[in-house]
Amino acid sequence: MGIIDLINYWMYLYILVALLVGVGLILTVVTKGVQFMHPKLLWQSVVRSGNKDNPEAANEKIDGISSFQAFTVGLASRVGVGNISGVALALVAGGPGSLFWMWIVALVGMASSFVESTLAQIFKEKDADGTFRGGPAYYIKNGLRLPKLGAFFAILILFSVGICVVMVQSNTVADMVASSHQVPHWVTGLILALLTAPVVIGGLKSVAKVTSWLAPIMALVYVAAAIVVLVLNYREIPTVFSQIIGGAFGTNQAMAGIGGGILAAILNGTRRGVFSNEAGLGSVPNAAGTATVAHPVRQGYIQAFGVFVDTILVCSATGFLIIMATNTYQPGVDLSEQGASLTQSALAEHLGTWTGWPMEILLLVLVFSTVLGCYSYGQVNVDYLVEQAGGKADQHLVARRLFAVVVTIATFTGTVFPLPFVWSLADVALGIGAIINLVVIVVLVPWVLDALKDFYGQSKAGKDPIYHAIQRPNTRGEIPAGVWE
């Protein structure tokens, strides 16, 4: 095992998972269970975000990106190959009990996603074109007054998410199509590049317009297929829940995966869960900070709901499909099928072999939407770096177009080049960025608690909450001017 792989092994197996879960628990406590205690306010925020007739900001015309569009950009990145192949791998290694621990991680992670997305809103900045820019780089700069650390984080996101994740996503779907239909990798890469180029060259607004309909439709189609399977096999649902609970707590050893026992279920469930819903990793706040909303807490609620959709709905759909496919999946037995192939075989067992092509088209579109989400994260951080370098408006435009070209090239090259070393480096970059982000959001959480108090107070008074950006005393941070006034 090389040094990079060794770093990844220890970072991801022990340090990062423990931090993600631990910080999620801490934030759940200090926010008094924000993800559980006010479901009505959460749901109202989600419904409001999709209501085109409802002004988002105090009688002002929206020139930027709507709250719902920012939500779907984050959803596009979250819902991808990981929901299909990642869950399958967790079930093989950890058994059905892994799914239970994914649920727990998601419910706890909703608090982390709420806090980081609310911070992205509080400390966001307004761009010349009327859109907003926000995310970890910005709340590190404005909340902690550490712009150089913000620039370091921006570089980590650009490399790991903006380029490498794009390459790995396209590589995964190209491998699957090649193994199933002998389609050359470069053909799949060319199709993805041709789909990606016109959208990303149009910039963040163009990406938001596409993901606002594409991401929800793809998630709904996939969940609908799972619901059909559940209806056809409704008598097995109690047995499936028994297998999940028994595997989660080690009471049913027949439900252990190839890793064996309760520890394998916990480790695989938590690892796959946190990296599927991205709560606390510092990626989704880059989308959350672009939204035009009247109060930061609303976008925090909406992105917390995104964690619920990703894991409780989409990952569960994959889990139930596989667990119910008794001819395809047997806990503790390695069937030599990996990731998406196992999910594809499970769906074919339930509904027939005709589902092969639709499943592959769905994966292709999911990868495409994930690439768009990754581009949006990257563009926010490109803007930050150009701004820190003192770039003018025209230089921002050049940098964005150049980054769009880089993403398009990465989409193609990811399908034709071997990626193990690049992916290992990306894992290190993403892991370091996540550790920085987790520490920062714990330090800055008082700002979120103030915003929550303000939001609850206005809501109880029957008002439509509007944020007035009251500065916190005795802090280094400062909310940017021209955003919330």
Closest CA to 229 of 311, 98, 319: 319
The predicted model gives 218-247 an average pLDDT of 87
Distance between CA 27 and CA 157 in Å, rounded? 23
pLDDT above 60 for 56: no
pLDDT above 50 for 59: no
Closest CA to 376 of 407, 342, 353: 407
Which segment of 31-45, 265-279, 378-392 scores lowest on mean pLDDT? 265-279
pLDDT above 60 for 387: yes
pLDDT above 90 for 168: no
Partner residues linked to 65 by β-bridges: 291
* Furthest CA-CA distance within the chain: 64
pLDDT above 60 for 57: no
pLDDT recorded at residue 442: 95
The model's pLDDT over 70-107, given as tens digits with 9 standing for 90+, comes to 778 877 777 777 777 778 878 887 888 888 988 988 99
The model's pLDDT over 298-357, given as tens digits with 9 standing for 90+, comes to 999 999 998 998 888 888 888 898 888 878 777 766 554 556 678 888 888 888 888 778
pLDDT recorded at residue 139: 95
Higher pLDDT, 103 or 8: 103
Which segment of 24-38, 200-214, 314-328, 435-449 scores lowest on mean pLDDT? 200-214
At the top level of CATH, which class does the domain 3-49+66-460 belong to?
A: mainly alpha
Q: Are 415 and 138 in contact (CB under 8 A)?
A: no
pLDDT recorded at residue 17: 80
The predicted model gives 165-194 an average pLDDT of 83
Task: Name the residue ranges covered by the structural domains of the chain.
Answer: 3-49+66-460
Identify the band that residue 363 occupies on the pLDDT scale cut at 50, 70 and 90.
Answer: confident
Distance between CA 407 and CA 200 in Å, rounded? 8
Retrieve residue 96's tokens.
């059905």
Q: What does pTM read for this prediction?
A: 0.87
pLDDT recorded at residue 88: 81
CA distances to 29, 67, 398, 450, 466 from 457, rounded to whole Å, are 20, 22, 44, 11, 11
Give the torsion through C-alpha atoms of 28, 31, 33, 36, to 10 deg.
-120
pLDDT above 80 for 194: yes
Closest CA to 51 of 39, 27, 67, 31: 67
Partner residues linked to 133 by β-bridges: 125
pLDDT recorded at residue 334: 58
The average confidence (pLDDT) of the chain is: 82
Handedness of CA 335, 336, 341, 345 (dihedral sign): negative
The model's pLDDT over 398-445, given as tens digits with 9 standing for 90+, comes to 888 899 899 999 889 888 877 666 667 777 888 888 899 999 999 999
Identify the band that residue 110 occupies on the pLDDT scale cut at 50, 70 and 90.
Answer: very high
The predicted model gives 121-143 an average pLDDT of 89
Which segment of 217-221, 273-277, 433-437, 450-454 scores lowest on mean pLDDT? 273-277
Most confident range, picked from 48-52, 395-399, 437-441, 471-475:
437-441
Q: Are 259 and 6 in contact (CB under 8 A)?
A: no
The predicted model gives 453-465 an average pLDDT of 89
Considering the chain, what percentage of its residues have pLDDT values greater than 70? 89
Closest CA to 163 of 377, 410, 429: 410
Distance between CA 43 and CA 418 in Å, rounded? 44
**Amino acid sitting at position 89:** L
Distance between CA 252 and CA 245 in Å, rounded? 9
Give the torsion through C-alpha atoms of 292, 396, 150, 114, to 10 deg.
20
Burial of 14 (0-12, 13-18, 19+ CB in 10 A): exposed
Distance between CA 92 and CA 80 in Å, rounded? 19
pLDDT above 90 for 39: no
The predicted model gives 206-223 an average pLDDT of 80
Identify the band that residue 169 occupies on the pLDDT scale cut at 50, 70 and 90.
Answer: confident
Which segment of 101-115, 120-134, 437-451 scores lowest on mean pLDDT? 120-134
